[in-house]
Amino acid sequence: MNEYKLFLNGEWLDSAAGETFEDINPATLEPIGLFQKASMDDVNHAVDSSEEAFDSWSTTPPPQRAKILYRAARLLEGRKEELARLMTVENGKVLQEARGDVQEAIDMAYYAAGEGRRLLGETAPSELPDKFCMTVRRPIGVVGLITPFNFPLAIPAWKIMPALISGNTIVLKPSSDTPLLAIELMKILSHAGVTRGVVNLVTGVGSEAGAALVRNRKVRAVSFTGSLETGKWVLSEAGKDMKRVSLELGGKNPIIVMDDANMDLAVDGVLWGAFGTTGQRCTAASRVIVDEKILKEFQRKLVERAKKLKAGSGLDESVDMGPLINGRQLAKVEKYAQIGADEGARLILGGCRIKHIPGYFFEPTIFTNVAADMRIAQEEIFGPVLSLISAKSLEQAIKIANSVPYGLSSSIYTENIKNAFLAIERLDSGITYVNAPTIGAEIHLPFGGVKATGNGTREAGTTAIDEFTDLKTVYFDYSGRLQKAQIDTQN
């Protein structure tokens, strides 16, 4: 079995404690390799390396940093199919989706590289004569990045590329379910010319390596994508040292289907939104709120199509849906299927593990007669479980959509422009799609949500630079005399 190392200060090293863990293919339950279980000493080594590299990297002109990211983008492009296949083996997502995951990383590398010739501040007139005012962006310092399993290349790239172009140095802690793609990304960045100590990788358990990274006082910012409960802990713990914190913590995303919608298009979107990536997306469509006048027909068409979805190994290109990531997640989804039945929702499709093939597979599952306050309609399941909820009007549909703790993504299917703009205005979410499902974010636009989805920060787009820079305001007085701002401008 292959054994993989930590990447610390430009070297591939064993864990200081000599401990490893096994990574499993969720579709076959076969081992992929042994990975280092980073200790606190390893995390401290990584952070110290980043701190030592910061002065050199942060003073490298941004266009020069950009050249390295352009090279990384081209290397990712050259290895796209290879990386996609590795991802399907490690993560389980179907090959078509894995290719899309790699493409997101490529796109983000190119986009962030382009920011190397911008990193824009602003100028403003002074209220006093012979005085110039402007803002400039400064890197934060050592940044800790903690990423989940579901997009094992795209999400690390969403964080790494903007952090690097901004002049920060980083320590990445990927999910222990998908460390292999993070290792390949480190190799690519190193080969592209990222200098020693600028990027570091620690693999292992979140409660150990992740916690040590959050608590290290030399880490000046933490960017975390994961569960709400862990995010609350990260925010609380990082707050003790006044670190910058960026959180993306999930969703319970609604699709509203109005009676004037293109029904076949809506069914296509719901299938992709609910069962793409086996429902393991923070933007997955887990609730569909349907106008009561068309619910019966919509339900019939949806179930008819969902029955045809094929589960299996994502390397088989005829497969529509891969496995869940691990046994814990499989048990969680199974538990929620039982909760839905116990709450009085009617199970009209699925609801069980798939036992005739190895791996962590669960059937595409649809509940109807779901009340908005049921647990299956309120809590993030992170699996292929969909709730159908009836609404009498758009007003009621929006009220139901907004009734959950989260506010990441939302969608409405309608041919009525007024309905579309009312939904855009009133849905409590960071993202709204019109006549498209709740998934499909593009890297040049801000990504994030409201309420329990996070702490108000946004990733991607120009906001990615906001996440990883501090603004400094500069006043340049060339008057040759003491000027006292508001005191000197009083009438």
Residue-wise pLDDT tens digits, 271-293: 999 999 999 999 999 999 999 99
Helix (H) or strand (E) holding 160: helix 154-165
Other CB atoms within a 10 A radius of the CB of residue 78 amount to 11
Closest listed residue to residue 146, CA positions, set 46, 77, 11? 46
Rounded to an integer, what distance in angstroms lies between the CA atom of residue 239 and that of residue 393?
Answer: 43
Closest listed residue to residue 162, CA positions, set 136, 143, 190, 185? 143
Active site residue 133: no
Residue 222 per-residue DSSP state: E
Annotated active-site residue in 97, 184, 248, 363:
248
pLDDT band at 485 (very low <50, low <70, confident <90, very high): confident
Cα of 397 vs its chain's centroid, Å: 27
| HSE of 114, CA atoms in CB hemisphere, 13 A | 11
3 state DSSP class of 423: helix
Task: Identify the residue whose tokens are 């400064």.
Answer: 138
Strand locations in 52-167, DSSP E? 123-125, 131-139, 142-146
Query: pLDDT at residue 149 above 70?
Result: yes
3 state DSSP class of 291: strand
- Per residue in 98-120, pLDDT (tens digit) is 999 999 999 999 999 999 999 99
Q: Of residues 485 and 70, which shows the higher confidence score? A: 70
Query: pLDDT at residue 463 above 80?
Result: yes
Beta bridge partners of 347: 367
- Transcribe 30-54 into DSSP letters: -EEEEEE---HHHHHHHHHHHHHHH
**Residue 217 phi, psi dihedral angles, 5° rounding:** -70, -15
CA distances from 185 to 80, 167, 254, 439 (A): 12, 18, 34, 24
Residue 153 in tokens: 């290349």
Strand locations in 242-332, DSSP E? 244-248, 253-257, 285-291
Other CB atoms within a 10 A radius of the CB of residue 297 amount to 11
**Residue 25 phi, psi dihedral angles, 5° rounding:** -70, 115
Query: pLDDT at residue 54 above 70?
Result: yes
3 state DSSP class of 397: helix
Residue 207 per-residue DSSP state: I
Query: pLDDT at residue 76 above 80?
Result: yes
**Residue 409 phi, psi dihedral angles, 5° rounding:** -125, 155
In the chain, the percentage of residues whose pLDDT exceeds 90 is: 97
Q: Of residues 149 and 489, which shows the higher confidence score? A: 149
In the chain, the percentage of residues whose pLDDT exceeds 70 is: 100
- Per residue in 116-129, pLDDT (tens digit) is 999 999 999 999 99
Query: pLDDT at residue 137 above 70?
Result: yes
Query: pLDDT at residue 491 above 70?
Result: no
Residue 310 in tokens: 């094929």
Mean pLDDT of the chain: 96
Per-residue pLDDT averaged across 443-468, rounded? 94
Per-residue pLDDT averaged across 75-83, rounded? 98
Query: pLDDT at residue 489 above 90?
Result: no
Contact 381, 274 (CB under 8 A): no
Give the per-residue pLDDT at 157: 98
Per-residue pLDDT averaged across 220-243, rounded? 96
Rounded to an integer, what distance in angstroms lies between the CA atom of residue 403 and that of residue 383?
Answer: 20
Contact 26, 360 (CB under 8 A): yes
Contact 425, 404 (CB under 8 A): no
Task: Identify the residue whose tokens are 């913590």.
Answer: 249
Annotated active-site residue in 282, 334, 363, 467:
282
Give pTM, 2 decimals: 0.96
Active site residue 248: yes
| HSE of 421, CA atoms in CB hemisphere, 13 A | 3
Domains in the chain and their CATH numbers?
3-249+454-474 (3.40.605.10), 253-434 (3.40.309.10)
Per-residue pLDDT averaged across 138-143, rounded? 98
Residue 429 in tokens: 């979410």
Contact 360, 259 (CB under 8 A): no
Query: pLDDT at residue 490 above 80?
Result: no
Start-to-end CA distance of the chain, whole Å, equals: 79
- Per residue in 1-38, pLDDT (tens digit) is 899 999 999 999 999 999 999 999 999 999 999 999 99
Contact 249, 453 (CB under 8 A): yes
pLDDT band at 370 (very low <50, low <70, confident <90, very high): very high
